[in-house]
Amino acid sequence: MSTPSYKRTKFACYSAYFTMSSVFCLPPLLFVTFHETYGISWTLLGTLVLTNFCTQLAIDLIFTLFSKKFNVAKVVRVMPLITSLGLAIYALFPWLLPDQAYLGMLIGTVIFSVSAGLSEVLLSPMIAAIPSDNPQKDMSLLHSLYAFGVFSVVVVGTLFLKLVGDKHWQLLVLFFAALPIIAAILFMLSPIPNMSTGETVNSAKKSRKRTLGIALCAACIFLGGCAENAMSNWISSYMEAELHIDKALGDLIGVAGFAILLGITRISYAKWGKNIIRMLTVGMLGASVCYLVAGLSPYTLPAFIACILTGIFTSMLWPGTLIMMEENVADVGVAAYALMAAGGDLGSSVAPQLLGAVADSHGLQAGMLVTAAFPILGSILMLVIIRFFKGNENKTV
């Protein structure tokens, strides 16, 4: 029997990850519109972000504990269609029942967040399972496409809102709801590689050191998720409400700049990167400085630049932790990736929600300052990780 070609499968993964960006960055682009049109508070808007990542966290934990119970091929093929359904409800419910707009947004968020959780759990191990001469390059490219997806959503979304107007924001969401159907078709026409579900939890019990290694990786991706997603979810609102920058200009230069730097840095690491632990350490330190500048600077320009540069420093915190785990921990499977996704999603839910809560009482700039605590803790954690994994060239953990 001939070996199947996975080129179309790989393209399907890339397409799904690219379109998944709308789930994360499109709602925050509309936060100010929701705040002004429907009178939804910043805290409730932050709760949408919290709901997004808590739903993903639940999916992550389910796959961590029960990965062998699922038919991965069937789940992957239906996954993009769930994204489309959630975004459609997100758009149509407020249109049909404006008095219940928030309820519709909440229901839609839960549905498309299920798909987002499945994407994070399954797409990375699927890319890792496809035969490749450079699997780290493929992994970094996968995550870079998410960043370029964010860039595309920001540019298209900003131009739409500027030219058509925010009164018709539902049409924008429906457009992005249609895109995941392409990924669904590609998956249905492509072979799905066998992926090890793994016995990560059971294996970890046999080795205290291995358990600690996985725990350190989970803590790292938690803090990395905090640092990346607090900024990506609030940068648009921060630039408009706190820095008083025109929304279109702030989104095109600020939000899109953040996303493009995120993607370029990931591609650059895929091509030239070697020492992922050093990259993670620099990323945590740099993100700490950026959040402190954004939270403390009395001037618009330094805060503006700091927000954009956060894209460089947070770019590898999530995918880099996965690479670090692969390099230092043996026998990782779907369960291990699910556990890492759980850590990242927990961080991605806690930090944006905390920032929104602080913003309601003290302003968005104070929220940025409080959020600086996460990459600062990440910098301290990296010192522990460097010592723990030192000399572990042969996956002894």
Neighbours of 361 (CB within 10 A): 10
Percent of the chain with pLDDT over 70: 92
Between these two residues, 143 and 67, which has the higher pLDDT value? 143
| Rounded mean pLDDT, 211-220 | 88
CA–CA gap between residue 223 and residue 295 (Å, rounded): 18
**Looking at residue 243, what is its pLDDT?**
86
Looking at 73-87, 113-127, 237-251, 327-341, which range is the least confident one? 327-341
Whether 24 has a pLDDT exceeding 80, the answer reads: no
Which residues, other chains included, contact 165 with Cβ-Cβ below 8 Å and sequence gap of 6+?
none
Between these two residues, 30 and 335, which has the higher pLDDT value? 30
Residue 155 structure tokens:
């540019």
pLDDT classification of 204: cutoffs 50, 70, 90: very low
pLDDT classification of 296: cutoffs 50, 70, 90: very high
Whether 322 has a pLDDT exceeding 80, the answer reads: yes
pLDDT classification of 2: cutoffs 50, 70, 90: low
Average pLDDT score, the chain: 85
Rg, C-alpha atoms of the chain:
20
**Looking at residue 3, what is its pLDDT?**
57
Whether 255 has a pLDDT exceeding 50, the answer reads: yes
pLDDT (tens digit, 9 = 90+) per residue, 87-114?
Answer: 999 999 888 888 888 999 999 999 999 9
> Where do the structural domains in the chain lie, given as residue ranges?
7-388
**Looking at residue 205, what is its pLDDT?**
47
Between these two residues, 133 and 181, which has the higher pLDDT value? 181
**Looking at residue 203, what is its pLDDT?**
45
pLDDT classification of 200: cutoffs 50, 70, 90: very low
CA–CA gap between residue 375 and residue 215 (Å, rounded): 17
| Rounded mean pLDDT, 338-343 | 85
By CB atoms closer than 10 A (0-12, 13-18, 19+), residue 391 is exposed
pLDDT classification of 86: cutoffs 50, 70, 90: very high
**Looking at residue 279, what is its pLDDT?**
93
CA–CA gap between residue 159 and residue 383 (Å, rounded): 43
Q: If you average pLDDT over each of 54-58, 262-266, 369-373, which comes out highest?
A: 369-373
Between these two residues, 337 and 285, which has the higher pLDDT value? 285
Whether 393 has a pLDDT exceeding 60, the answer reads: no
Whether 1 has a pLDDT exceeding 60, the answer reads: no
Q: Residue 382's Cα: distance from chain center in Å?
A: 21
Tell which CATH architecture fits domain 7-388.
Up-down Bundle (1.20)
**Looking at residue 287, what is its pLDDT?**
96
